[in-house]
Every structure is written in structure tokens, then in C-alpha cells.
Structure 1
């Protein structure tokens, strides 16, 4: 193994870990949000369907916000790059809003308003962290890097479940503060260590923009979507459809697991929030082997 090759592998591992940290930070709040906000809504709303609709608000916002912010990030040029500025600004705001959620539980309108604000802010950086993988990691190594990132996601499901089991019933406010603190610490680490202006993808974009005419227009999200729909090769459309269906099924079941445990199984709020613990373990056991098979 050459020194250059060893150095590249070391950088790949380092950036993979840091991207996983960014995803872990944002998903730590999302998992706990999906686990413990529904019981807060159930204190005011008798219909599980209405609770499900309100819990789907973040996904509805994501349909519009995430493509827009992703496209905007692609066109951003700063000394820190095009991804990190959004994370450094958005994650602390989302963490602060997340801490406020349990304090608004007594008022349904105020609770919904804070939920909306959190979902709006969190969706502005949700796609940004994951975009760091293709920015830094070569295509032949992305399956493995994505597996590490997904393992970080599964760890947040485990962390959220454990916080629910040990803290929610007696210390709800502290339980909400822990995922927010994880996000705050993680963004400090990312802000200090990562400059995606040094990523190969960012450098390539700069080189291409220098070669393009000054009046050339960047592709819009709508144009990209229309291109995918009209393409005779249906592979991209089918892939997006599969992602949509899987995400819909997961989100629909995830949001009502805790109320189900409380109302159908007669569990406490904290114990019901821990029902997803086995899913996190299963995710960890499956993710990395699946990535190795994909590479082969």
C-alpha cells in the first residue's frame, strides 16, 4: 500500500465519521420527536388520525423545503463550502426549538406552532448533511460510507428509545434536552473540523463554473423532476418511487408506535417510546453487510 493510498483511506474514514456525526446529530432529535411528540398531542386530540396528520406535517414541509434548499446549497459558494454554513446556522436553531417543545404542551396551538417551526428549520438542513457523502467520498466507496451513515441513524433510534425508557416518565424536559444537546455538541465539532470547500465535488463545481458562460442558468429542481419523469429509462423514477413508498410506510408506523404502546398495550409513555429499540439493533446488524454486498 502506498503512502498516498493510505492517506486517502484515512481521509475517507475521517470524513465518513464526521458525516455520520452530522446525521447522528440531526436524527437524534427526529427520532425522539417521532417518539414523544405524539403523546403530547394525544393529551389534546382524541383522534389518532388527526395526530398522524399533524405528525406528517414535517414530511409535507420536506417535500417542498428539502429540494429547494438542496438546490440552493448546490449553488452556494463560501470559504466554508456549500453545505457547512447551512448546518452551522440551522442546527443550533433547531436544537433550541426542540428544547422548547415540552414546555408548550399545555397549549395545543402553541405546541403546533413550535412543531411547525422546528419542522421547517430542521428540513432546511436535513438533506445537507447527507449530501456531504458524495461530495467527499469516491463512488466506489459510497455504499460503505452510506452504510456507516445509516448505522449512525440506527444508533439514534436506540438512543431515543433508551432516553424514553429511563427519563421520559419522570423527567420529560430533561429527556427533550438531551437530543438537543447532542445536536449542539455535534455541530461544534463539525464547524471546527469540516470545510467542504476542500471536497473534490466542490472543487469540480468551481472548475466547471469557471468554464461555463457567465449567463448560463443553473438547473432548477422542477426541471430535474420533469427530466426524470420524461426519461425513457425509468430506473431513476422507479428508485424515487421505492424511496417514497418505504419512507411513507416507515413514517406512518413510527409516529404512532408510542400512542399504540400506551393505549393498546397499557404501557407508560417512556416504556412505549422504547418499543423501537429492537428496530435500531436490527438496522445496525443489517446495514453494513448489505453495503458490502452492494459494493460487490
Structure 2
């Protein structure tokens, strides 16, 4: 678990950087773009890179074989580049250089996100992965909270200060990960153990019926979540008559509940099964989103959002380990890339789709659509006959040379 907490530094630095990026880059873009739609489009660049690059990078990392391991080379290249270009963003001299630094930062971040996340199952036995994913997401949540908590104060000193801070944290995390995390393949090599050559991993082979149904469920629940996250402030101000501050602050209750319940949801997934806990979370959010249609009170809105954050933790903490568990150990990077492809596709699809439904049917369509999206996810889950484990896994399974 000590190694897992230290590995969480990688996700901590990613979440911290993205939170600062999402908070302040729109302010830079506003100096050049006067239409919110264009600013919103520019802020989705990372999702397009995720769709194109992350499946390929994850797949390539499965086939990488160096003295530094399978995943670490991508961190050693991507993290310094990400730190440099993040630091350069507020130092732009015009619209062209701003877009250039944004694109280069997004490209750099795409190089190491999937390999960083794939390190967790690499060094963790299958039956402990939901707990480990809870730890990693908890660290990521702390990164986001820290970014929002001190980001504005640092921004007040100078627009470049938060980004310099993020770059330093990212570089420090890289050095810690390089010093502490030893991949099983590297440890085997150092111990003089010969490994049998593995059959090549093909992305198409990973898309069996069980995996496709899980991925479809992931797509539908991310469509619901991303739509609510992107459009909730508009819902609060236009439909409930809240101020901008009240609406954005209300959504914080959802995020904090997720953060607090990240570790317990991983423990529940390990004890009772990932599919069972995810199904409870999806069913719960169907009820929560359905109930929010009728809520006019700010107090009850925030109470339901707290409960919703707990249910979202049940889903999000257990879904990635479940995707990994349905395949071979050699396909972890490939499956990580596919997972991010589906979630990023949902992030691109959801805001304009749910926004269009709001335009046609009114603001109540937001939570009606979100509830229906969760219902579609539940239908996909019901199609998965059992929670299949990858070959050679089980409560007794140990990864050879894995760090304890």
C-alpha cells in the first residue's frame, strides 16, 4: 500500500495540472475569443488527443521492453515535457503561441497518462486493485481540491505562478516514481529470471462481448456524469434562480462526497465484487438524478448531490479495475487506453447532446437525460453474466516480483 500511495503522486500531479488548466486557460482564451462556444471547443482538445493517442500509447506500452520497464519510459519523456509546456502557457505572447503551448501540453500529457494509470495493476494483485484505485483517485481528488484551494491565491501573485507550481509538482512526482516504483519486468530482469515471450496483443482481440458491454456501460454513465458536470451551473442559475457562486459551490458537494468515499468504495468492491458495487452506484444515480427533477430547494439539492457523489464513487473507483480484470495481464496498457478512449468520447459527446436536449425540452431535460443515460448503463451491466477474472488471477494470486 505504501507503493500505491506513492504511485498516487502521478495521478495527483495529473489532476492538479488539469484542474489549474481548466480553471485559468479559459481566462487566457477570453482575451482572443469572444464566443463561449469557441472557448468551450478549445477546452476539449485534451479529449481529442485522448481518443486518438491514449489507446495507441497504452497499446505500445504493453509491447515496450526497456531496462526502465514498460511504462516508465513514457513517464520519463511525457512528464518533463508536460511540465515545460504547462509553464509556458501563461507566458504566451499572442493567440498563436497560446494555442501552440496548449496543443503541445495536451500532447505531452497524453504520452504518459495511460502508462501512469496502467502502473497500478502492473504492481498490484487483482484482488487488491479496487482498493489501490481508490487510493489513486483519492490522491487525484486531493490534487484537484488543492488546485482550487490555492490556485486563486497563486494566480493573484501572477498568472504564471500556478503553472510553475504545477510543473514543479509534476517533475518532483516523476523523480519519486522513478526512484520508488519498480515494474515486475524490471525486477525479474534484475533477478536474472528469464521470461517467456508473450503473444502480441491486438486491440480487436480485447473487444469480446463482456468487455464491449462494460465499455458501453462506461460510455453511458460518463455521458450522464459529464453532461451534469458541464451544464449544472446553467441549470442552477437559469432553472433554480441561483447565483453563479451558489451553483458552482453546490457541485462541490458532489465532488467532495466522491473524494471522501473513494477509499471505502474500493474496499467494498474488493469485498463484494466490482459489478455488484457498480450496479448499486448506477441504480442509486438513476434515483438521484430522477429525484433532482422535482427539487427546488437548495438544501435538498445539496443533500442529494452528496448522496450522488457517494454513488458515483461506487461506479468510478471500480470500473477501471473491472475493465483490466476481464483481460490478460499483458493487455493492461491496451485496456487502459481503450477505457480512456470511451470516457473521452463520452466527454466530447455529452455536453453538446444534453445541451441540445435542454434547448428543445427545457432545463428539466438535463436530469431526465442523465437518469436515462444511467438506465442504459444499467441495462448493459445486466447483460454481463458474471464478473470474470483474468487468467491466473484470484484472491490468492500474486504478481511475480511485485512490490509489497
- Aligned residue pairs total 263
Is the Cα–Cα contact under 8 Å of residues 164 and 274 in structure 1 kept in the other structure?
A: no
Look up the match of 1:73.
61
Residue 192 (structure 1) shift: 1.6
In the alignment, the residues of structure 2 paired with residue 32 and residue 276 of structure 1 have an alpha-carbon distance, to the nearest angstrom, of 17
In the alignment, the residues of structure 2 paired with residue 102 and residue 245 of structure 1 have an alpha-carbon distance, to the nearest angstrom, of 36
Higher relative contact order (CA 8 A, sep 6+): 1
**Superposed CA offset, 1:161-203 (max 9, x none):** 0123322234221111111111011111111222213468xx9
Residue 31 (structure 1) shift: 1.7
Please, which of 201, 214, 226 is the counterpart of residue 219 of structure 1?
Answer: 201
In the alignment, the residues of structure 2 paired with residue 274 and residue 113 of structure 1 have an alpha-carbon distance, to the nearest angstrom, of 33
**Superposed CA offset, 1:48-101 (max 9, x none):** 221121111111111110011111111111111111111011101100100000
Is the Cα–Cα contact under 8 Å of residues 61 and 123 in structure 1 kept in the other structure?
A: yes
The answer as to 2:117 corresponding to 1:130 is: yes
Look up the match of 1:50.
38
Residue 245 (structure 1) shift: 4.0
Look up the match of 1:146.
133
Look up the match of 1:181.
168
Change (3 A) 1:179 1:248: farther
After superposition, the CA RMSD in angstroms is 3.2
**Partner of 2:87: helix, strand, or coil?**
helix
What's the TM-score, normalizing by structure 2? 0.58
What's the TM-score, normalizing by structure 1? 0.78
Look up the match of 1:294.
269
Look up the match of 2:369.
none
Is the Cα–Cα contact under 8 Å of residues 52 and 252 in structure 1 kept in the other structure?
A: no
Give ranges in structure 1 of 5+ residues lacking alignment. Answer: 1-12
Look up the match of 2:49.
61
Q: How does 1:114-129 map to 2 (within 5 A)?
A: 114-129=101-116
In the alignment, the residues of structure 1 paired with residue 174 and residue 56 of structure 2 have an alpha-carbon distance, to the nearest angstrom, of 22
In the alignment, the residues of structure 2 paired with residue 259 and residue 43 of structure 1 have an alpha-carbon distance, to the nearest angstrom, of 22
In the alignment, the residues of structure 1 paired with residue 223 and residue 249 of structure 2 have an alpha-carbon distance, to the nearest angstrom, of 21
Is the Cα–Cα contact under 8 Å of residues 84 and 167 in structure 2 kept in the other structure?
A: yes
Look up the match of 1:24.
12
Q: How does 1:1-296 map to 2 (within 5 A)?
A: 13-104=1-92, 106-196=93-183, 197-198=185-186, 207-209=195-197, 218-221=200-203, 223-224=204-205, 228=207, 231=208, 233=209, 235-247=210-222, 278-296=253-271
Is the Cα–Cα contact under 8 Å of residues 88 and 187 in structure 1 kept in the other structure?
A: yes
**Partner of 1:128: helix, strand, or coil?**
helix
**Partner of 1:120: helix, strand, or coil?**
helix
Is the Cα–Cα contact under 8 Å of residues 3 and 180 in structure 2 kept in the other structure?
A: no
Is the Cα–Cα contact under 8 Å of residues 12 and 140 in structure 2 kept in the other structure?
A: yes
In the alignment, the residues of structure 2 paired with residue 183 and residue 260 of structure 1 have an alpha-carbon distance, to the nearest angstrom, of 35
In the alignment, the residues of structure 2 paired with residue 182 and residue 284 of structure 1 have an alpha-carbon distance, to the nearest angstrom, of 21
Look up the match of 1:4.
none
In the alignment, the residues of structure 2 paired with residue 154 and residue 42 of structure 1 have an alpha-carbon distance, to the nearest angstrom, of 27
Look up the match of 1:8.
none
Is the Cα–Cα contact under 8 Å of residues 11 and 139 in structure 2 kept in the other structure?
A: yes
Is the Cα–Cα contact under 8 Å of residues 90 and 163 in structure 2 kept in the other structure?
A: yes
Look up the match of 1:3.
none
Change (3 A) 1:276 1:48: same
Change (3 A) 1:273 1:127: farther
Is the Cα–Cα contact under 8 Å of residues 157 and 280 in structure 1 kept in the other structure?
A: no
Give ranges in structure 2 of 5+ residues lacking alignment. Answer: 237-241, 272-404
**Superposed CA offset, 1:197-243 (max 9, x none):** 3468xx9xx7341xx6xxx6x2333x24xx52xx4x3x322322333
